[in-house]
Amino acid sequence: MAQPGMTETARRIASGECSAREAVEQALSRIDLVQPEINAFVDVFHEAAIAHASSVDDRRVSGEEMGPLAGVPVVIKDNICLGQDAYPGRTTCASRMLGGYRSPYSATAVEKLLAAGAIVVAKANLDEFAMGGSGEHSAFGPTRNPWDIERTPGGSSSGSAAAVAAGVVGMALGSDTGGSVRQPAAMCGLVGLKPTYGRVSRYGLVAFASSLDQIGTLTHNVEDAAAALSVIAGHDAHDATSSTRDVDGFSSAIEADAKGQHVAVVRTEGSVHPGIADALERAAKVLGDAGVGVDEGALPHTRYGVAAYYLIAPAEASSNLARYDGIRYGRRVGLREGEGLEDLYVRSRTEAFGDEVKRRILLGTHALSSGYYDQYYGKAQRTRRLIKNDFDAIFASGARAVLMPTTPTPAFRLGEKLGDPMAMYLEDAFTVGANLAGLPAISVPAGLVEVDGVKLPVGVQLVGRAFDEAGLLQLARALERGLGFDARSPLSIKVCG
């Protein structure tokens, strides 16, 4: 039997149909089966997870009031801190630099999941420090797509997406800086939600680009995305950018009729795979049939999004990663005879960082350097404002959300784009805008396309108004109902059968 979604698992445990221990043991057994094929996990918590599950079962039997996710197994991306008081794992960011780091505290989003009763069964692989879009830039090796293990699952939340797509868990936490939740969701046939910047606390998320980073979720359906957001959203005094806005109503919103709402479709003829273009047209028709007004929209500055993003994000990464010097934080090499402090810095960072991280640090440092700051970083920030203005203009015209592709292509083969960083970066063309503008966005599975004889999932994306996740989820649910995507990956079927 296939792994049920997160809320369905919670219902089964609450009703006594299965125990928390049974649900967790099932997830752990699947990890053992699929890990050799997809390499989705950095640490697996066999003993700790079962102990927590047994505790949930004992407390339920004693009549104790339980949280909404009591006993539900989840996976956490390994750039999100998980404290040692509950679990024995590391927080490595899939980097040699933090290969032995054990966090003394948990991220706020994780604390909220634990308070709701969820049980962490594993930490997920990722592109190093969340820098990458294919899952190939990891010190622990590449993650593979459960739909075709010769292909990427997308990135940087590669392990989180693969874990859900392989039927291990019904929900995994990821992070989205330029599409790192939505892109792997599209490539793995999942729902990927990036909330508004500030909706979910970033406390305990290891910083990549602080003005862009946001914790998000990967699930099988919109109902689970809404339920997970209801748990992890909310103000946090530990995060100065955390919003105090109300967080109620996400789950109830998805049951409301979307009729009468309006979306603006942004078409990108010639720049996407034909199967994705077809999926976008199907999505627009589905919403129209549901009574949603479907209008034409334009985001004229989207063409500059990748260029702006790959100046702003590396600049912030250059600053954030400066702390990993082998002295204050991170792996330190031993000094050789005749070497000094500068040699320690250089060799520690050279040996501990991967090529993609080095590339982005160098690019960001150059963009911030004297004489180039205004020409590169300053201009990118002004372009960021123009991109936000484009979205604002669409929303001012009455649209509740923008409908557009999530990715330009289905999942590509591992290694196919490693030698061409620009080709890899262009996979983010449709996702970076939401991060630059600080807006919520969700990718919804929109069908299967055949590539080289293999059927692969593709997604479409809705970008909403700031802090209007309720409206975004309502439209996503209408889209999900109309598209009727219920396919599971071959690996999930094989493992569950």
Please give the structure tokens belonging to residue 493.
């079927």
**In a domain? residue 390:** no
Tell me how many domains the chain contains.
2
Residue 58 burial (CB count, 10 A): 12
- Does any domain span residue 368? no
pLDDT tens, 337-350? Answer: 888 888 888 999 99
> How much of the chain exceeds pLDDT 70, in percent?
99
CATH number at residue 104: 3.90.1300.10
pLDDT in tens, 279-290: 999 999 999 999
For residue 1, what pLDDT band results from cuts at 50, 70 and 90? very low
Asked if the model's pLDDT at residue 89 lies above 90, the reply is no
Which of 19, 103, 156, 201 is catalytic? The answer is 156
The closest of 167, 231, 223, 181 to 201, measured between CA atoms, is 231
**Mean local confidence (pLDDT), 395-424:** 96
Task: Give the 3-state secondary structure of residue 175.
Answer: strand
Tokens linked to 237: 């005094």
The active-site residue out of 19, 77, 160, 417 is: 77
Catalytic residue, chosen from 157, 180, 201, 230, is 180
Same structural domain for residues 334 and 425?
no
* Domain shared by 103 and 205, yes or no: yes
Are residues 349 and 461 both part of a single domain?
no
Domain region containing 451: 6-262+406-496
Same-domain pairing of 201 and 344: no
Residue 497: the pLDDT is: 45
Please confirm, yes or no, whether 77 is among the known catalytic residues. yes
Task: Report which of 91, 191, 185 is spatially closest to residue 145, judged by C-alpha positions.
Answer: 185
Report whether pLDDT(235) > 90. yes
Q: What average pLDDT does the segment 68-81 reach?
A: 98
55, 143: one domain:
yes
The residues pairing with 122 across neighbouring beta strands, listed in sequence order, are 44, 75
56 domain residue, yes or no: yes
Looking at the fold, whether 307 and 418 belong to one and the same domain comes out as no
pLDDT at 496: 55
Asked if residue 153 belongs to a domain, the reply is yes
- Tokens 């059927």 sit on residue: 455
281, part of any domain: no
- Sheet of 262-265: strand order equals 41-44, 119-124, 73-77, 171-175, 215-219, 191-194, 441-451, 454-464, 401-405, 262-265, 293-296
- Model confidence pLDDT, tens digit, residues 143-162: 999 999 999 999 999 999 99
Average pLDDT of every residue of the chain: 95
Check whether 271 has a pLDDT greater than 90: no
- Whether 156 is catalytic: yes
